[in-house]
Amino acid sequence: MRLAITGAAGMLGQDLLAAAKAAGHDLLAFPRADLDIADAAAVTRALAEASPDVVVNSAAWTDVDGAERDETGALAVNAAGAGNVARAAAACGAWTIHVSSDYVFDGRKSAPYVESDPVGPLSAYGRSKLAGERAVAEEAPDHHTTVRSSWLFGPGGPCFPATIARLAGERDELNVVADQVGCPTFTGHLAEALVGLAGREHRPVGILHVAGRGSCSWFEFAREIVAAAGVTCEVKPCSTEEFPRPATRPANSVLRSERGGEAPLLPGWREGLARYLALTAAAREVRAV
């Protein structure tokens, strides 16, 4: 299979490249430096020349708080850019797998969110990701899978575990939000699932929820990270009101799928954290040599 990956230099994109290589696919990597998905003409030209069977769009504006200051910029990438990729993929007969977010929900539901639940983003970032889902569905109605995931972390970029591990090494005490819950998702696990979806003979159309199994709060996640790091730092719970951010986050970001076997099941978030920590420890050892 000929597989194209946009956003190939990003945190998820790097793991997608590794998973696609491991699966033996004919791979076409498009980092942002080579292809800005907000440039419709460039996307059309690049995919027409590449002639892929499947395009995995992992390119995204990921600065949640920055989107509050520049919603136009976020929409250019997450909405119009996503539509550009789906349109160009459809024009060359390729399937689009688009990566979206738990932030399309308002977080007020008391149970996990499933694919058919009403959306209601609370932030500019969430609105841009929802607009991207709709653009992909409009441009490639029968040739797309949109995968919503939650709380991504991985060794290929800035992420929550890296920040917590650094701060825990610098401070005696950390206050971490305890009233927001979600499904921490290791990008290595998600990448393998996305490549698996791409390789299916019959790919599911529409939205799938694919996130790390289990759920926790940011506080519980941080406590696990600090314990694994073996540093002396007390992690204390705090409320969202005590830790205000420019963008409003949903209180409940827990995702589950109602689509049975169509949605890949990922390992638990603790397994993802263990794999992440092993990879980052190995990388540190290599740098120290």
CATH number, domain 2-158+185-213+254-267 = 3.40.50.720
pLDDT at 108: 97
- Domains of the chain, by residue range, sit at 2-158+185-213+254-267
Specify the amino acid at residue 104.
Answer: V
232: CB partners within 8 A, 6+ apart: 172
The pLDDT-based confidence of 281 (bands split at 50, 70, 90) is: confident
Q: Distance (Å, rounded) from C-alpha 17 to C-alpha 26?
A: 11
pLDDT in tens, 77-136: 999 999 999 999 999 999 999 999 999 999 999 999 999 999 999 999 999 999 999 999
Q: Are 56 and 198 in contact (CB under 8 A)?
A: yes
Active-site annotation, residues: 125
Has residue 37 got a pLDDT over 70?
yes
Neighbouring CB atoms inside 10 A of 179's CB total 17
| pTM recorded for the entire structure | 0.95
Q: Distance (Å, rounded) from C-alpha 15 to C-alpha 189?
A: 9
The number of helix segments (H) and strand segments (E) in the chain equals: 10, 12
Q: Distance (Å, rounded) from C-alpha 60 to C-alpha 46?
A: 18
pLDDT at 189: 98
Cα–chain-centroid distance for residue 64? Answer: 12
